[in-house]
Amino acid sequence: MEFLDNILVKPFADMAAAPDFLLQVLWEGLVGGVLYALIALGFVLIYKSSRIFNFAQGIMVVFAALTLVGLHEKGLPAFIALPLTLVVMLVLAITIERVVLRPLVNQPDIILFMATIGITLFLIGFGELIFGGENKVMITKELMIPTDSFVFEPFGGFVSIEQKDLTAVIGAMLLVAGLLVFLNKSKIGRAIRALGDDHQAALSVGISLSTIWVIVWFIAGVIALATGIVWGARAGVSFALEVIAFKALPVLMLGGLESVMGAIIGGLAIGILEKVFEIYWGQPLLGGNTEAWFAYMLALLVLLFRPQGLFGEKIIERV
């Protein structure tokens, strides 16, 4: 009985007893979820347009952030370092398309997936060689991201919201909105969606596969840079960031591999639920650090009922 009580009653009693703390936990989870959603968004874009399961998205986040900080350390002011980083990401996109993707067109999915793991390893080695492996501080002040925090006092309690987190959430929302408009309204966006639907049909109406791939990888690079700035402002920039790529995988699976909406909703849901689970169930009952696997178990459970994820396209198989 006490066991059931610990699982089913006590956590909710704790929540009700300290609503301000619950609010704080939810906010922290939401901010984490926004980051997962951003990384998952990069995955989805590339998967939609080329059916490549891009494992390198996580390392692109690190690489973009490291380039930005590294260039700034070399003495460049932030307003020059930022566009220069974008140029680096463009060069990276072109290189990847030229060197890796073009020779591998039409190979099975698993081969392309392995190739992106190869890209990941290469970028890790390359980045560490150039910028060093130690932790760096994100240049928040130079990018004019406020660092104070708002303090609220609801229910006679205490909730603190850091301004940089708020900036991150608003920035991410703007980025996603812009991306959705771009995908749905612009000519290139339509071309990307056309490629996602059918490669050959898209090619036959004159859409250039290689150009679109470069554009898509560049957009993924821009998203990576945004993610890198936001995450770097919270936790510093280092290759430890790479683990967040593993957080984005269950987000993708939960939301469905093809769905932009799914990535966002999946990201937010996982961010919030894993935080709540960790605080109210994980730490008191399981010894903590349940965030390492909670997202996967949740995604696995959902997939058992919906094998294509919450918002994924229905899988139709023909023999």
Partner 1 sequence: MFYPTAGQFKTSYQADYALFPVRQDAFLLGVIALFAFVVFPLTASEFTFRALLTPVLIYSLAALGLNILTGYAGQLSLGTGAFMGVGAYACYKLVSIFPEMNIVVAIALSGFFSATIGVIFGLPSLRIKGFYLAIATLAAQFFLVWLFQKWGWLYNYNASGAIQVPNIALFGVTVAGPRATAIAQYYFVLCTVCVITVFAINITRGRIGRMWKAVRDMDIAAELVGINLMRAKLMAFFVSSYIVGIAGALFVFLWRGAAEANLFDIPLSFRVLFIAIIGGLGSVLGNYLGAILIVALPVIISTVPKALGLPIDAATAEHLNVMIIGALIITFLIVEPHGLARFWAIIREKLILWPFPH
Closer residue to partner 1 (CB): 221 or 250: 250
Does position 319 interact with partner 1 (CB under 8 A)? The reply is yes
Burial class (CB in 10 A: 0-12, 13-18, 19+), 78: middle
Quick note: the x/- pattern for partner 1 over 31-70, rule CB under 8 A, is ----------------------x-----------------
Quick note: the x/- pattern for partner 1 over 268-287, rule CB under 8 A, is ------------------xx
Does position 144 interact with partner 1 (CB under 8 A)? The reply is no
For 290, list phi and psi in degrees, rounded to 5.
-75, -15
Number of residues this chain uses to bind partner 1 (CB under 8 A) = 49
Does position 128 interact with partner 1 (CB under 8 A)? The reply is yes
- Packed helices 209-235 and 163-185: angle between N→C axes, nearest 10 degrees: 170
Does position 113 interact with partner 1 (CB under 8 A)? The reply is yes
**Three-class SS state of 205:** coil
| Per-residue tokens: 246 | 């593993």
How many angstroms separate the CA atoms of 74 and 90, rounded? Answer: 20
How many angstroms separate the CA atoms of 16 and 133, rounded? Answer: 44
Q: Where are the beta strands (DSSP E) in 92-193?
A: 149-152, 159-162
Tell me which of 9, 79, 87, 126 binds partner 1, using CB under 8 A: 126
What is the rounded radius of gyration, in angstroms, for the C-alpha atoms of the chain?
21
Tell me which of 205, 304, 314, 316 binds partner 1, using CB under 8 A: 304
Distance in Å, CB of 313 to partner 1, minimum: 12
Degrees, nearest 5: CA angle 15-17-18? 70
Beta-carbon contacts of residue 40 (< 8 Å; ≥ 6 apart): 248, 251, 252, 255, 263, 264, 266, 267
Distance in Å, CB of 68 to partner 1, minimum: 20
Interacting stretch for partner 1, rule CB under 8 A, among 161-169, 183-191, 230-238, 311-319? 311-319
Degrees, nearest 5: CA angle 11-13-19? 95
Closer residue to partner 1 (CB): 135 or 160: 135
By CB under 8 A, the residues from 233 to 262 that bind partner 1 are 246, 249-250, 253, 257
Distance in Å, CB of 158 to partner 1, minimum: 31
Tell me which of 38, 64, 88, 115 binds partner 1, using CB under 8 A: 115
Tell me which of 4, 17, 83, 108 binds partner 1, using CB under 8 A: 108
Burial class (CB in 10 A: 0-12, 13-18, 19+), 174: exposed
The footprint of partner 1 (CB under 8 A) covers: 53, 99-100, 103-104, 107-111, 113-115, 117-126, 128-129, 133, 246, 249-250, 253, 257, 286-287, 289-290, 292-293, 296-297, 299-300, 303-304, 307-309, 315, 317, 319
